[in-house]
Structure 1
Amino acid sequence: MKDKIVIITGANSGIGKAAALKFATEGYRVIMACRNMRISEAVQQEIIETTKNINVDLMELDVSSFASIRTFCAAFNAKYPCLDILINNAAYLNHGEKEYKLSPEHIELSFATNTFGPFLMTRLLADHLAKSQDPRVLNACTTNIKNFFDPKRKIEFDNLQGEMRGTRPYSTYKMYGDSKIALLMLTFKMAEEFKSMGIKVNALQINRVKLSKKTIKKMHSFWKVFAWAQNLTNPLPSGMADTYFHICTSDEFKNVTGQLINHKREIVQPSTTEKGFTQLKNIFGSSSYPSYATNPQNIEQIWSLSTTLTEE
Structure 2
Amino acid sequence: MTGKVVAVTGANSGMGLATTVELAKQGAHVVMICRSKERGERALEQARNQSGRSDIVLMTCDLGSFASIRTFTAAFKQKYSQLDVLINNAGVVALKRSITSDGFESQIGINHLGHFLLTNELLDLLQRAPQGRIINVSSGAHKAGRIHFDDPNLTRGYNVAKGYAQSKLANILFTNELAKRLAGTRVTVNSLHPGAVATNIGVDRKSGFGKTVHKLLKPFFRTPLEGAKTAIYLASSDEAANLTGQYFIDSKSVQTASKASNPELAAKLWAWSEQQVKLT
On whether the aligned pair clears a TM of 0.5, the verdict is: yes
The corresponding residue for 1:55 is 55
Aligned in 2, Cα 1:301/1:50: closer, same or farther, shift over 3 Å? Answer: same
Q: Which runs of 5+ in 1 are unaligned?
A: 149-153, 270-288
Q: Which of 132, 137, 145 is the matching residue for 1:135?
A: 132
Aligned length: 276
Q: TM-score, normalised by structure 1?
A: 0.83
1:306 aligns with 2:269: no
Give the structure 2 partner of residue 276 of structure 1.
none
The 1:214/1:197 distance shift into structure 2, 3 A limit, reads: closer
1:141-160 pair list within 5 angstroms: 141-148=138-145, 154-160=146-152
| Residue equivalent to 2:252 | 266
Map 1:232-271; keep pairs closer than 5 Å.
232-262=219-249, 264-269=250-255
Distance of aligned partners of 1:304 and 1:27 in 2 relative to their CA distance in 1, 3 Å threshold: same
Asked whether the 8 Å contact 1:210–1:234 carries over to 2, the reply is: yes
Matched with 1:151 is none
CA distances 1:112-170 after superposition (whole Å, capped 9, x unpaired): 1111111111111111011111210000001111224xxxxx322122245x3xxx221
What's 1:283 paired with?
none
Instruction: Please say if 1:40 is aligned against 2:7.
Output: no
Question: Based on CA coordinates, which of the two structures has the bigger radius of gyration?
Answer: 1
Aligned mate of 1:122, from 119, 124, 139: 119
Change in Cα spacing, 1:213 to 1:112, as seen in structure 2 (3 Å) is: closer
The TM-score, its normalising length taken from structure 2, stands at 0.92
The amino acid of 1:256's aligned partner reads: L
Q: Which moved more, 1:135-144 or 1:206-215?
A: 206-215
> C-alpha deviations, 1:181-239, integer Å up to 9, x for none?
01100100001112233110000112111244982952398xx2xx5443213221111
RMSD: 2.0
How many angstroms apart in 2 are the aligned matches of 1:246 and 1:39? Answer: 26
Partner of 1:218: helix, strand, or coil?
coil
Q: Which residue of 2 aligns with 1:218?
A: 209
Tell me if the contact between 1:83 and 1:129 (Cα under 8 Å) persists in the aligned partners. yes
For 1:1-312, what aligned pairs fall within 5 Å after superposition? 1-94=1-94, 96-97=95-96, 100-148=97-145, 154-161=146-153, 164=155, 168-212=156-200, 215=203, 218-219=209-210, 224=213, 227-262=214-249, 264-269=250-255, 289-311=256-278
Cα distance change, pair 253–192 in 1 and its aligned pair in 2 (3 A): same
Amino acid at match of 1:145: H
Give, in whole Å, the separation in 1 of the partners of 2:21 and 2:211.
Answer: 32
Is the 1:22–1:242 contact (alpha carbons within 8 Å) kept by the matching residues of 2? no
- Give the deviation of 1:298 after TM superposition: 1.6
**Partner Cα separation in structure 1 for residue 61 and residue 242 of structure 2:** 30
Q: Which amino acid is the alignment partner of residue 110 of structure 1? A: Q
Counterpart Cα distance in 2 of 1:112 and 1:65: 9
Partners of 1:211 and 1:115 in 2: CA distance: 19
Q: Contact 2:108–2:153 at 8 Å: present in 1 too?
A: no
Q: Secondary structure of the equivalent of 1:182? A: helix
Unaligned runs of 5+ in 2: none
- Partner of 2:86, secondary structure, is strand
Amino acid in structure 1 at the alignment position of 2:132: P
Distance 2:11 2:54 in 1: 16
Measure how far apart 1:57 and its partner are.
0.6
